[in-house]
């Protein structure tokens, strides 16, 4: 599974799957998966903008290995695609910036989740 992340002309981040933009009408699970690539893009954009570098030609691919039998994601790879002529001295820094994404960190070390069902008590008068 591949989610593609791009920047539009105004530097907004757009994620898509199979050519269709991922938005709030998509399943919560698809939105959840897309947030890893989108968060990574936020950090890449900030890095480039701080150095007055163009976003032209910069895209990200989020490659997801999904285990059908266990019904879960096994691995996510974020590929930052940089244009020809991009300064090689920043390649390692780009990887470091993506590692700062808090969504990625939550995938790596997930929080515990608990569910509580609260029933309202009936008031008898």
Q: Please tell me the least confidently modeled range out of 10-14, 50-54, 118-122.
A: 118-122
Q: Give residue 101's region: left, alpha or beta (phi > 0; psi -120 to 50).
A: beta
Domains in the chain, please, with CATH? 2-108 (3.30.300.20)
* Centroid of chain to Cα 59: 12
- pTM for the model stands at 0.87
Mean pLDDT of the region 51-56:
95
Count other Cβ atoms within 10 Å, centred on residue 4: 19
**Chain mean pLDDT for the chain:** 93
pLDDT band at residue 119 under the 50/70/90 scheme: confident
């Amino acid at each position: 599974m591949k989610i593609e992340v791009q920047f539009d002309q105004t530097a907004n981040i757009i994620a898509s799957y199979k050519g269709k933009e991922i938005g709030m009408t998509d399943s919560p699970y698809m939105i959840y998966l897309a947030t890893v690539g989108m968060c990574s893009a936020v950090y890449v954009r900030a890095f480039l903008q701080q150095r007055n570098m163009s976003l032209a030609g910069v895209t990200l691919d989020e490659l997801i290995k999904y285990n059908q039998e266990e019904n879960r994601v096994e691995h996510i790879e974020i590929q930052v695609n940089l244009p020809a002529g991009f300064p090689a001295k920043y390649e390692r820094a780009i990887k470091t910036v993506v590692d700062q994404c808090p969504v990625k960190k939550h995938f790596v070390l997930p929080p515990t989740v608990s569910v509580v069902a609260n029933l309202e008590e009936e008031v008898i008068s």
